[in-house]
Structure 1
């Protein structure tokens, strides 16, 4: 089968801009002519194998960045946005969307921002939101959405923070006990760590320098929260510099993002990159064994596996998602081609929804998305008790998956017929093209419908091209 041609003009221009090189100087370094470089940067020609080799040799570039990143995410996001009825019959082919995402990523992001602003304003009008009519109300994403998209388009990997966390908890690759080093760091910073029976998981009083951790929280949560406080106290300059680069629109988004960055440091310190990656390979990504080895929770381990995207040392590309009992996605990230709907819930055929029915067990699913890509999907409930009889139990389900060509590296693939039947799943009903799905909740917005009052199949309508 012929190999796919590599068009990555935007990435090539971005690399040259980062190096501060002119086209002439860059072309000379790569050993190609100036017109040839110009054609590649404008996607008039694919990037040749010789250029890929020169990029690796001359600049130490991890060439996998040329084939990964924002493009697939933006294509999925644009498809979902264009399915909105406001666009009528407009249905650009996927090839055009890929071209826009790779050639003009800034324009594609602007389109997505515009559509998101439209949706937000439309919802405000429909619900008579109190923001309606306020002169200072701006057509901007909510702070939560803005932060979510920031991590989404960073591949959920922040190199500087990840390396700082690894250096903190595993200098020279030797992992230290996270509870010990966190306690030692806080003590040296003049912080008095106390454990109390309060329902609040973590509380820090800056005036008295007292950090209270709830005894009701699990061990992994206690360690994570102490490392979170370490990040706020010892890594503030790094966190603030990262926030400056992100350029959030509101102070609320910046504040939410800072919590997210501190959480990122805590997770990366609890599960330091190289030590965790090596253990993942040795255990064949057995989540329970990894949780025991690192004193972490199943959810923390699963989420960390989806962030192993360090240039030059990438792990298996995983997707990770957490949903509540209503099917609402509360966490999402994908280092694979699998993308999640920006609005609404996940596909009901996905095994993550069945995890609530089998608490404490891993569910395995071989699934195929409408684009023909096949995945091994794992799902499990992650209920979080409140620590007392009357405290409410928070119930979630998580899913972790990878493309089936990586399945042999996972213990969960043992005994499965990887060449057998794969269950059809989608992203969300509103943009799914499958015609015979028995679980469809709403018609696809990209297709016309035929309604016949004298006939009734699984659905009260037929989907036609």
Structure 2
């Protein structure tokens, strides 16, 4: 398989301007001609290995920051948006989308924002009976989607919050619950436990935090750390929210809780200690969960966030789905991007996890772009904690490119040269023409329908 060329003009230009260098001086330090640098910055040429080496040697630059992670996310999101029938049957070629994502990422994000507004307007008109009589109602982006996109384009790694959490973890020094209670007590707050249906309840008047004894121990510890983050890191969280510039108070409130959750996970699983343990155990989720007193889901989620500049872990994707196949959490440091709307590919093993509770499922999978992955899936059902309380059923998926499989215990015994199952992202944009699980036709391809022929699908997809 040919190596993918690295086009990172916008990032290269951003690096140069951040250093305060002219194109001529920057070209001299990189050992290339001025026209060559200009071509790279305009994505007319890929970034060469010579330039990558010079960036590292001359400026101590982490060259992994030039990776096309954000550009690939934008391309994936634009392809899905352009699959909307409103754009017709001939969307722009993939090369044009990649050019826009690399050269004009702000324009690409503006396009996605415009499409999101369009979708919300369309959905509002479709349920006009709910909108009638609302004087002064104005179109607002979905707070949930706005926050989701914030974490999505941050690689689900918030550097300042992560470092603050690691500092707190070092202060606590392994005594997680007692240490967190001690830090809260310094703020005049007390912690108590109660047989309550609410996982966590904080009364600011009395200064009492109540945690539910019905919750599993990892969940109680996590909720304790969430409150610790809200109390001790409020200024940092607010400053981060200011930089994000959310459009609504609701989005800001959701994001603040998301940042507090991020802080809690980073204290429970501090970056460097967790990264070292992950390498030592070869990313054995059960051993890591036992070592850090965390849940399988918390460990899997944390693995997908190890993207600290200069100290990155294996790039993982992480996803959680419900029984209907709806994606409820999604993070990816890999080239695999999940559908923004709807569910996950039905051929993916994450859906089978509900059938085999308590077991890890392994799958070798290949996406339409030819990238191959080692995928894990497991159910993570959550009991309500009492008789009659509903059980919340989810499944999680975790995976990485197959080239990293030797570093995972889950790669042992697998033939990594064959047996890869074809999976996609979303049926609307999937290029596979003969998928037996296809729910809707691909909008980027023409269809032919023969009334006298019925194959696996009631139509044929033009592969030309």
Class of the TM-score when normalised by the shorter of the 2 chains:
over 0.9
Preserved contact between residue 191 and residue 210 of structure 2 (Cα < 8 Å)? yes
Distance (Å, rounded) in 2 between the aligned partners of 1:273 and 1:378: 22
> 5 Å matches for 1:185-334?
185-334=183-332
Preserved contact between residue 175 and residue 275 of structure 1 (Cα < 8 Å)? no
Deviations 1:7-34 (A, max 9, x none): 2111022223434444455445545555
> 5 Å matches for 1:415-454?
415-454=413-452
1:182 matched to 2:180? The reply is yes
Distance (Å, rounded) in 1 between the aligned partners of 2:381 and 2:443: 35
Deviation at 1:6, TM superposition (A): 2.7
1:394 matched to 2:392? The reply is yes
Distance (Å, rounded) in 2 between the aligned partners of 1:51 and 1:222: 49
In structure 2, the partner of 1:113 is 113
Moved more, 153-162 or 66-75: 66-75
The residue matched to 1:45 in structure 2 has which SS? Answer: coil
Preserved contact between residue 7 and residue 40 of structure 1 (Cα < 8 Å)? yes
The residue matched to 2:211 in structure 1 has which SS? Answer: strand
Preserved contact between residue 82 and residue 90 of structure 1 (Cα < 8 Å)? no
Q: What is the Cα-based RMSD across aligned positions, in Å?
A: 1.8
Deviations 1:217-236 (A, max 9, x none): 11111111111111111111
In structure 1, the partner of 2:55 is 55
Deviation at 1:422, TM superposition (A): 0.9
Preserved contact between residue 125 and residue 132 of structure 1 (Cα < 8 Å)? no
Deviations 1:361-410 (A, max 9, x none): 10111111111111111000000001101111000000000111101111
| Unaligned segments of structure 1, at least 5 residues | none
| Unaligned segments of structure 2, at least 5 residues | none
The residue matched to 1:130 in structure 2 has which SS? Answer: helix
Deviations 1:322-352 (A, max 9, x none): 0000000000011111110011111111110
Would the alpha carbon gap of residues 196 and 404 (structure 1) be closer, same or farther in structure 2, given more than 3 Å must change?
Answer: same
2:364 to 363, 366, 390: 366
1:341 to 320, 339, 342: 339
Deviations 1:394-444 (A, max 9, x none): 000000001111011111111111112111111111111212211111111
Distance (Å, rounded) in 2 between the aligned partners of 1:139 and 1:42: 36
Would the alpha carbon gap of residues 252 and 22 (structure 1) be closer, same or farther in structure 2, given more than 3 Å must change?
Answer: farther
Tell me the TM-score normalized by structure 1. 0.95
Aligned residues: 463
Preserved contact between residue 69 and residue 335 of structure 2 (Cα < 8 Å)? no
Preserved contact between residue 204 and residue 210 of structure 1 (Cα < 8 Å)? yes
Deviations 1:268-307 (A, max 9, x none): 0000001001100111100000000000000000000000
The residue matched to 2:434 in structure 1 has which SS? Answer: coil
In structure 2, the partner of 1:13 is 13
Tell me the TM-score normalized by structure 2. 0.95
Preserved contact between residue 379 and residue 400 of structure 1 (Cα < 8 Å)? yes
Deviation at 1:459, TM superposition (A): 1.6
1:65 matched to 2:61? The reply is no
Would the alpha carbon gap of residues 210 and 2 (structure 1) be closer, same or farther in structure 2, given more than 3 Å must change?
Answer: closer
